Structure 1
Amino acid sequence: MTSFHVRAVPGLPEISAGDDLAKLIAAADPGLAEGDILLVTSKIVSKSEGRIIEATDRESAIDAETVRVVARRGTLRIVENKQGLVMAAAGVDASNTRAGTVLLLPEDPDASARTIREGLREALGVNVGVIVTDTFGRPWRSGLTDVAIGAAGVRVLDDLRGGTDAYGNPLSATVVALADELAAAGDLVKGKAEGLPVAVVSGLSQLVGDVAEGARALVRVAADDMFRLGTSEAVREAVTQRRTVREFTEDPVDPGAVRRAVAAAVTAPAPHHTTPWRFVLLESPGARTRLLDAMRDAWIADLRRDGKSEESIAKRVRRGDVLRKAPYLVVPCLVTDGAHTYGDERRDGAEREMFVVAAGAGVQNFLVALAGERLGSAWVSSTMFCPDVVREALDLPAHWDPMGAVAVGRAAAPPRERPARSADSFIEVR
């Protein structure tokens, strides 16, 4: 690659719903040659596709196009929209459209790009690449730039992984967003107010061909997105994403992630400025096996005393094996060193309840923080039924009270949909 040329295409009329963009662009005499790349502003694509709606209230239009709110500050919202793009206001635009209306993004920008490409091939007999562009802000960077939201017939990513740089160093993480770079280059000649919504890039024919993937390939999938959550929404998202996971992969758990979750746990409120939480991290297979075997034996003994059959006992033990299947276990414990003693059964009982509530708050913080680390968890109560067994197996002080156990790992499958719960069902107002 030595050089390329970018130029705007003048002469396009105002676009209306139902207009054939490819024919209008061809009629503007864009001078397209084989292997050129056409950059088309999404606004005129939206207009041609009738994506103009009457909306005196732009906020309601944003609501309708929003799949997930990522961040909010005042009236400004960064959201994931129906096209999978994370951007301000879901791409709903009130500029360059008549008063009382707003423009929505094309429903399928990749399909729009394919339609324009095929139309130009039919009208002009040339094979070109087409990129549909839109304007984005970016985290940690001031200013706006155009990026690709739709593409056809052009390579959108250049994966350099496996190669080497000029010094022979291996490239292990370099994937270049070619389509975004082209979109930004086109924006330099199109401008925002000059009425030049189309540009042409010449000299990069090596990027053009019958490429299967479109601009959707530029959208990072949720599992790989380290910055998926926004500001205050991060807390709400982590809380709602916390799910009980009972099937784990064999992937090891990063001990550092668990320790970060413990750091979040111990910020929970507690009575009398105490720190009533202790988290026993079972990082060695020996410690996990020793604890779980001792608990299983104690459970079986209890079931036999209850008169359960051996078949029934075996089934119960199998169902309760979630802790054994997890690659990492944590036993949260309650320590009531700072509790007050009143010599009154009612007040002493309430005192302990305060500490138990504080322990639960700490465990909830812990589970939510694990979800933020993309780790699944299951809080199981079993250690509370055999505290002496747990203390002996783990060599814990006599005044540490086990508050269940937390299985930790990567979920083997997506969790089931949680039944919808209306907050109003749990609220009483006085």
Structure 2
Amino acid sequence: MSAPSLTVRALTGIGEVRPGDDPAKLIAAADPGLRDGDILLVTSKIVSKAEGRVVEAADREAAIDAETVRVVARRGPLRIVENRQGLVMAAAGVDASNTPAGTVLLLPEDPDASARAIRRGLREALGVRVGVVVTDTFGRPWRAGLTDVAIGAAGVRVLDDLRGGTDAYGNPLSATVVAVADELAAAGDLVKGKAAGLPVAVVRGLAHLVTDEPDEPREPDAPDAPDVPHGSGEPGALPGDGDDGDSDEGDGRDGCRVRAAVTGARALVRDSRDDMFRLGTSEAVREAVTQRRTVREFTDEPVDGGAVRRAVAAAVTAPAPHHTTPWRFVLLESESSRLRLLDAMRDAWVTDLRRDGKSEESIAKRVRRGDVLRNAPYLAVPCLVTDGAHVYGDERRDAAEREMFVVAAGAGVQNFLVALAGERLGSAWVSSTMFCRDVVREVLSLPGDWDPMGAVAIGHPRALPPPRAGRAPESFVEVR
């Protein structure tokens, strides 16, 4: 059997492309010898020019704004964004090179549709069955330098799903999905170059990648669900709410969903459910803090204790006075320990409410507020310890000393809740244990100097919390 081989060559003779030109006719005229099974790699710039995507724009930044649907990361003037085509790239793909001064070049409106049109045009002009990949230049996470990738495709297998097969040693392949269209795009860039005026390349020898997909797209996937997006000091209230194969994505092969309903290069774009790196570093930190939400209803899915311990590791990085470590987290992983604690707390709460003269109906209503803890599959009780606190001997300074430790405990709890969200776990911080600390210490056999600072219900959210409007910082700021 002969060894596999392929050739990649650039097409010459395509010249300057203008609005209204037909790329398929230009390609057919430049190379009438195209064969069945060839794959055309077409630079997006000539497609954009032919489709009239050259626009007046004295300010490139304004053009980037218009093409951006989501900012992924920002470092000074550089922006990595998701654009209208669903691609995550620098500057939304807005290009000020190879276009007249005072104008910018936008990406094709629908690169997959553009690829289908070129493929159809070549079939009509030359009678050939070819694949078409529309390419553009990208930077890549974790890697220096640029390369061409596929942003549109037609008649080409864009992903080669090897899962279910075996390697040369008989080991099962359980995670390997190869981004074939991107590999083709990068190969074409080697002969097209960035400034050689050669916008099209032809790959020959990979006819098995050319498909007979229809020239019209299938129905797209349903849009992504919204991202998982948080009470009073009374027991049962929710502080902070007012009332309201391998998993490494670095190789681009595993963790992605090969979706039968998606054709063209759109299948190469990870949806939000599979994107482990949806934001830049500073953006992810802000998103984690602002999108932490209180979850009141959970599924029956068990909670991974390792994930909770990772959240504890994040919690104890909070600032604390005098280089102390004032946090302790009691993890209630068994149902019996949770019920024993919650039953004792309920009894103590009922006793307090009867002493307050509340009616039995009112008591029952208030006690139901604790159901968020009772219905959770996992509980954690953060505690404050004041080892290392200074004793001054006067009320004012001793009170301030304790307040420092309480603030540090709150910072630790916030870290804990944010880290749980990062583990894709929902949580609700409930203040109940602060109102019956002696009961909690007795039931959980805690040292007498451990002060329970509420309880955290933890589990997998049953539903996504509704969107929450942002709060303007001006309402909470005084400048002096």
Return the TM-score normalized by structure 2: 0.83
- SS of residue matched to 1:222: coil
Q: After TM superposition, give the deviation of residue 12 of structure 1 in Å.
A: 1.5
Taking the aligned partners of 2:278 and 2:159, their CA distance within structure 1 comes to 21
Distance verdict in 2 for CA 1:20–1:263, change over 3 Å = same
2:441 counterpart of 1:391: yes
Please tell me whether residue 180 in structure 1 is matched to residue 182 in structure 2.
yes
Contact 1:15 1:44 in 2 (8 A): yes
**2-structure distance, mates of 1:50, 1:171:** 45
Task: Classify the secondary structure of the residue corresponding to 1:116.
Answer: helix
Name the one with the larger helix percent: 1
**Aligned partner of 1:209: which letter?**
T
Point out the more displaced range, 60-69 or 137-146.
60-69
Distance 1:255 1:218, change over 3 A: same
Find the counterpart in structure 2 of residue 29 from structure 1. 31
Displacement of 1:317 after TM fit?
4.2
Question: Which segments of 5 or more consecutive residues in structure 1 lack a partner in the other structure?
Answer: none
**Per-residue displacement from partner, 1:168-225 (whole Å, max 9, x unpaired)?**
1011111111111111111112111111111222232222224451212111223323
Aligned partner letter, 1:29: D
Distance 1:10 1:277, change over 3 A: same
Which residue type is aligned with residue 378 of structure 1? Answer: A
Map 1:294-373 to 2 at 5 A. Answer: 294-306=344-356, 313-373=363-423
Question: Which residue does 2:472 correspond to in 1?
Answer: 422
Change (3 A) 1:302 1:119: farther
Preserved CA contact (<8 Å) 1:9 1:30: no
Structure 1 position 63, deviation (Å) = 3.1
> Is 1:109–2:159 an aligned residue pair?
no
Give the residue type in structure 2 aligned to 1:390. V
Q: Which residue of 2 aligns with 1:236?
A: 286
Hey, what's the Cα distance between the residues in 2 that align with 1:300 and 1:22?
Answer: 79
The 1-side partners of 2:182 and 2:194 are apart by 17
Equivalent AA in structure 2 for residue 198 of structure 1 = V
Partners of 1:240 and 1:134 lie apart in 2 by 34
Q: Which runs of 4+ in 1 moved over 6 A?
A: none
SS of the equivalent of 2:287 reads helix
TM normalised by structure 1 equals 0.92
Distance 1:423 1:63, change over 3 A: farther
What is the aligned partner in structure 2 of residue 170 from structure 1?
172
Deviations 1:230-271 (A, max 9, x none): 232231122123222223333333323222222222221222
Structure-2 residue corresponding to 1:277: 327
1:97, distance to aligned residue in structure 2 (A) = 1.2
Compared CA separation, residues 325 and 12, structure 1 to 2 (3 A) = farther
**Offset of 1:417 from its aligned partner?**
0.7
Alignment root-mean-square deviation, CA: 2.3
Q: Supply the distance in 2 between the matched residues of 1:97 and 1:205 (Cα, whole angstroms).
A: 35
Instruction: Report matched runs for 1:130-279 at 5 Å.
Output: 130-211=132-213, 213-279=263-329
Q: Decide whether aligned partners of structure 1 residues 122 and 292 sit closer, same or farther in structure 2, where only a CA change above 3 A counts.
A: farther
Give the share of equivalent positions with the same residue, in percent.
84
1:315 positional shift:
4.8
**Number of residue-to-residue matches in the alignment:** 430
- CA shift, 1:6, in A, is 2.0
Residue 461 of structure 2 aligns with an amino acid whose one-letter code is: A
How far apart, CA to CA, are the structure 1 residues paired with 2:355 and 2:33?
89
Q: Deviations over 1:268-288 (max 9, x none)?
A: 122232221111122223222
Q: Following the alignment from structure 1 to structure 2, what is the Cα–Cα distance between the partners of residues 238 and 279?
A: 21
Give the superposition deviation at 1:353.
2.0
